Amino acid sequence: MSIADFSGRVRPDACPGALQVHEAADGPLARVRLPGGAISGGQLRELAACAAELGSGVVELTSRANVQVRGLRAPAAFAERIAAAGLLPSAAHERVRNIVASPLGGRGPAGLLDTQPLVEALDLALCARAGLAGLPGRFLFALDDGTGDMRQLAADVTLVPAAAGGDAWVSLLLAGVDTGLVVARDAAVGQLIAAAEAFLDERERGLSDRDRAAWRIAELADGPARIAAHLGAADDRATTAMDASPVSPARRPGPVDQRDGRVALEAVVPLGRLSAAQVRAIADTADDGGAVPVRLTPWRTVVLLDLSPAAAERAVRQLSTAGLVTDPASPWVGVSACTGRPGCAKSLADVQEDVRRWVATLDAPAATPVHWAGCERRCGLPRGRVLQMVATADGYEERLP
């Protein structure tokens, strides 16, 4: 089973944050939450400086559009600088600010909803509720602008535009299940918060040891129906689950035309790892485009928004020169991997070096997305149909669900 699966756990959630670091094999690891994947050029530069001066010099992108820095020599100093950069608004809530959102935020051809104002309002409301500091670090909110990119993540609570009503009404999905609950967009943040509070309530009065140990709504017995009952949805409508094995959303890098005539640019970060110099290059490229918004995605890509066509052309050259992938025909498209050795003591292989050697033999993307893992935990495994290369004592074992 993957690390995200329930496994009869008895320990509390120990997801790292900027204050509660994880003692990895290569030293303390800190994770910084970026609701909606949003980060400014100035914050990127401070993150690069922290990685270079206090850590291993590498910034990793996570499957929830957050960032982490490994090998910290001074975790307390790192936390102070991250807070000063505006990336730690609540010490009590830092590990529960898990909010992903469609990176184009309604700008693309299929986008119906500007998600960024909702992301910001949800983050403020989350941090304002003292009780929600008790959410597990795995609990996830998702805001889908209508493109379906966030919907397929099956987050604990997903907001999507309602089938009818334009952008004035939204639907809530619970653990990927259509509850039938439709609310006005202006009331959406309150309902998202109410769903999180209902999860804590249902877990507290759990029907079993499994309920009381749950980190996700899907781990509660009949979780979506129980949370829907709290929110006023009819139980008989909380029955339609998404396809559990959708096609994996491998991202195709390159320019994307926005509806307003401007351009978004998406770039793949090979293996989700950025050097401090690459982080600075992203910040410089964003500023060269006119201080445009930057979004990180759950697919370990970087998106620059609201570029002029000329700025988009320059950005392609600048990011490609920095080592990011903007060519949709690159063999790096659809490839992901866990940390592997030496960063993870549980890994049976130097996964990332093995992946680099493998990618060097390709001249195009693999037909199916591929995830490489150093052990049975399969950390970072994307959702959907993914070819898995799992390290064993006798080499890698190929698996396709």
Within-domain flag for 369: yes
Q: Are strands 141-143 and 387-392 parallel, antiparallel or unpaired?
A: unpaired
Give the residue from 181, 213, 241 where a domain finishes.
Answer: 241
- CB neighbours (10 Å) of residue 240? 12
Residues 317 and 256 sit within 8 Å (Cβ to Cβ): no
Could you tell me the CA-to-CA distances from 170 to 69, 107, 112, 161, 238 in Å, in that order? 36, 17, 11, 4, 16
Q: What is the pLDDT of residues 178-192, one digit of tens each?
A: 988 999 999 999 999
**Residues 279, 273: Cα–Cα separation, whole Å:** 10
CA angle 159, 160, 163 (to 5 degrees): 140
Within-domain flag for 366: yes
**Residues 118, 36: Cα–Cα separation, whole Å:** 10
Spatial neighbors of 123 by CB under 8 A, at least 6 apart, are 35, 89, 97, 99
Same domain, 108 and 217: yes
Q: pTM of whole model > 0.85?
A: yes
Within-domain flag for 4: no
The helix (H) or strand (E) run that includes residue 181 is strand 177-184
We report the CATH number of the domain holding residue 181 as 3.30.413.10
Residue type for 354, please?
D
Q: What is the pLDDT of residues 52-76, one digit of tens each?
A: 999 999 999 999 999 999 999 999 9
Give the residue from 223, 241, 259 where a domain finishes.
Answer: 241
Give the residue from 185, 215, 241 where a domain finishes.
Answer: 241
Within-domain flag for 69: no
Residue 236: both structure tokens together: 């008989």
Per the structure, how many domains does the chain have? 2
pLDDT tens per residue, the chain (401 residues)?
343 444 445 556 778 999 999 999 889 999 999 999 999 999 999 999 999 999 999 999 999 999 999 999 999 999 999 999 999 999 999 999 999 999 999 999 989 999 999 999 999 999 999 999 999 999 999 999 999 999 989 999 999 999 766 668 899 999 999 988 999 999 999 999 999 999 999 999 887 888 899 999 999 999 999 999 999 854 333 334 333 333 344 468 999 999 999 999 999 999 999 999 999 999 999 999 899 999 999 999 999 999 999 999 999 999 999 999 999 999 999 999 999 999 899 999 999 999 999 999 999 999 999 999 999 999 988 888 899 999 999 999 999 86
**Residues 59, 276: Cα–Cα separation, whole Å:** 7
User: Cis (ω within 30 of 0) for the bond into 382?
Assistant: no
Domain that holds residue 219: 99-241
Residue type for 238, please?
A
Please tell me whether residue 399 adopts helix, strand or coil conformation: strand
